[in-house]
Structure 1
C-alpha cells in the first residue's frame, strides 16, 4: 500500500471488507475497487538484546578487521638464523 499514490492509498484504507468502492472514472473507463480481507503479517523478530548484540558485534568486528589489516601492513617477519 505504501507504494500507491496518496489518493489511491486513502481510498483503499477507507474501504471495509466485502463492500465495493464508489465508481472511479479514468480515461480508460470506470473502475470499482473492493477489499476482500485485511491481513496483517506476523513478523518473527529476534529479541531486542539479540539485535543489540548483533550490532555491537558488527561494529567491533569491522574495527578488529581494520586493525588486523594495519598490523599486517607494518609486520616484519624474521626467520631464525637470518639477519
Structure 2
C-alpha cells in the first residue's frame, strides 16, 4: 500500500510539473502573439499611410491632366531632348 501511495504522489507531482510547464508555455505564446499583433498593427498603419499617399499622388496627377499642365510638361521635356 505504501508503494502505491508513493507512485500516486509521484504521478501527481509529475502532472503538477507538466501543468506548470504548460502555463509557462502559454505565457510565452501569449507574449509572442501580442508582439505579433503589435507588429501587424504597425504594418497596417504603414499600409494605410501608403494607400493615402498613393491616393494623393493619383489625385494630383489627375488634376494636372485635367488642367493640361502635365501634357505641356511632357511636351517641354520631349522638345528639350531633341
- Give the TM-score of the pair, scaled to structure 2: 0.36
Which protein, 1 or 2, shows the higher relative CO under an 8 Å CA cutoff with sep ≥ 6? 1
Larger Rg: 2
More helix by share: 2
Structure whose residues are more often strand by fraction? 1
